[in-house]
């Protein structure tokens, strides 16, 4: 059965390595993921399990920070195990892992709505998994970033429950520099006419929360979205956004005209830009190299939108790892457009929005539930 469980030590959780549980019915995958995790000095494997049932039975004893959970497994699959795992450990980070089929894409996106933190698409064969340095990098970075955020939140909550702890600084995983004040730019004098959005980890949940509440914006403007996602996943996301908004929402098509009332989503595996042809703004798709380790990437969309629409563009940077969108946001600001960013407490990872915020490019940094109302007011011409 190849079950490996490391018991929790009696040491304090403060400063410990990120504890990882790997759940996959393929022994080759479990072994490979385990070696990758153990090669990182700040990560450790505390359980390597074959089925969702074993994961549910072992989660309290192993006490992982992060679970990498396969979708397809015998006895109890990933989607069935997910709520049972979260019931036993509410602050658990669960990363769903699945191959790129339509069924698995639908299951992975459904898992996000059920409490999974993120997903990672696995290459189709064990040989491809073994020979993909980009997949290894993505998996380790997701485990690290999401695990660190979970630990900080947990330690902050623990500190808040300690009697008399209010006068002392909250325990930290490591020394952190004091947060720097964020300088905000004034909003342009004219109302925006185009909305471009960049998002990554946590993005599907954030997009759902926003686009369902900006019907009046869609009536006035086109909405173009780059979400870091592979093929098939973007197809499912576009279909979901169409059902949610009751507006046309689709993966963008090369050469199609950009019109108000439609949501255009960058297709997985291709960069989306905008160009003017015969005075008309149209979609341009690019199968070129990765940008910021991503394809699609946010920077090509934002930079091209700045060239085509100038001060009429409003860029929105949502939750995500890394710095994709920073150069594009700089281009929008330089062209006289405006940038909004999601704030840190409501972001799954405050990488992308944090980068543009600390660069002084934003006119507002907002909690997720305040973004849609602010967009509605801005596109109506109200700067408040």
Nearest to 171 by CA among 36, 1, 365, 14: 14
Token pair of 125, please? 């064969």
Extract the tokens encoding 283: 């979609």
Angle between helix 78-88 and 52-62 (nearest 10): 20
Do residues 101 and 232 make contact, with C-beta atoms less than 8 angstroms apart? Answer: yes
Cα–Cα dist 111/52, whole Å: 14
CA angle 252, 261, 348 (to 5 degrees): 65
Q: How many beta carbons lie within 10 A of that of residue 287, not counting itself?
A: 8
Contact between 281 and 258 under an 8 Å Cβ cutoff? The reply is yes
* Helix residue ranges per DSSP H, 45-101: 52-62, 78-88
Distance CA 372, CA 198 (A): 15
Q: Which two tokens stand for residue 213?
A: 């509440």
Instruction: Check the CA dihedral 366-367-371-373 and report its sign.
Output: negative
200 is catalytic: yes
Which letter does DSSP use for residue 40 in this model? S
The gap from C-alpha 162 to its chain's centroid, in whole angstroms, comes to: 32
Of 324, 338, 343, 347, which one is the catalytic site residue? 324
129's tokens? 């998994």
Q: In 3-state terms, the chain is what percent helix, strand and coil (to 5)?
A: 40, 20, 40
For residue 285, the Cα-to-chain-centroid distance in whole angstroms is 22
DSSP-derived letter for residue 278 is: T
Q: Is 324 a catalytic residue?
A: yes
- Catalytic, 240? Answer no
In order of 21, 142, 170, the CA distances from 14 in angstroms are 19, 20, 11
Q: Which residue in the list 108, 228, 240, 271 is annotated as catalytic?
A: 228
DSSP letter for 257, please.
B
Any idea which residues carry the catalytic annotation? 200, 228, 324
């Amino acid at each position: 059965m190849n079950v490996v469980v490391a018991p929790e030590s009696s040491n304090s959780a403060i400063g410990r390595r990120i504890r990882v549980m790997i759940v996959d019915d393929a022994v080759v995958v479990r072994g490979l993921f385990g070696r990758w995790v153990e090669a990182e000095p700040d990560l450790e494997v505390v359980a390597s399990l074959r089925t969702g049932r074993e994961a549910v039975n072992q989660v309290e004893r192993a006490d992982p920070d992060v679970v990498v959970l396969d979708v397809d497994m015998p006895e109890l699959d990933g989607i069935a195990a997910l709520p049972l795992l979260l019931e036993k450990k509410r602050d658990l980070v669960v990363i769903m892992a699945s191959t790129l089929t339509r069924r698995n894409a639908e299951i992975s996106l459904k898992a996000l709505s059920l409490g999974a933190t993120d997903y990672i698409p696995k290459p189709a064969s064990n040989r491809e998994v073994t020979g993909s340095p980009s997949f290894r990098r993505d998996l380790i970075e997701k485990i690290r970033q999401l695990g660190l955020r979970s630990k900080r939140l947990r330690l902050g909550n623990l500190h808040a429950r300690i009697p008399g702890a209010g006068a002392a600084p909250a325990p930290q995983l490591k020394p952190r520099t004091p947060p720097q004040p964020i300088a905000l730019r004034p909003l342009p004098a004219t109302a925006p006419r185009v909305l471009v959005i960049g998002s990554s980890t946590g993005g599907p949940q954030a997009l759902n929360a926003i686009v369902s509440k900006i019907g009046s914006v869609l009536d006035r403007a086109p909405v173009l979205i780059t979400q870091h996602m592979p093929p098939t996943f973007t197809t499912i996301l576009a279909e979901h956004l169409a059902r949610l908004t009751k507006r046309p929402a689709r993966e963008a098509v090369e050469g199609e005209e950009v019109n108000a009332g439609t949501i255009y989503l960058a297709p997985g595996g291709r960069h989306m830009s905008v160009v003017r042809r015969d005075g008309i703004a149209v979609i341009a798709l690019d199968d070129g190299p990765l940008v910021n380790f991503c394809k699609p990437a946010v920077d090509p969309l934002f930079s091209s939108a700045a060239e085509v629409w100038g001060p009429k563009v409003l860029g929105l940077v949502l939750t995500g790892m890394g710095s994709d969108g920073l150069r594009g946001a700089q281009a929008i600001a330089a062209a006289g457009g405006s940038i909004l960013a999601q704030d840190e407490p409501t972001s799954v990872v405050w990488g992308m929005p944090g980068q543009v915020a600390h660069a002084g490019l934003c006119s507002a940094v907002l909690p997720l539930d305040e973004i849609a109302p602010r967009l509605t007011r801005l596109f109506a011409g109200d700067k408040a």
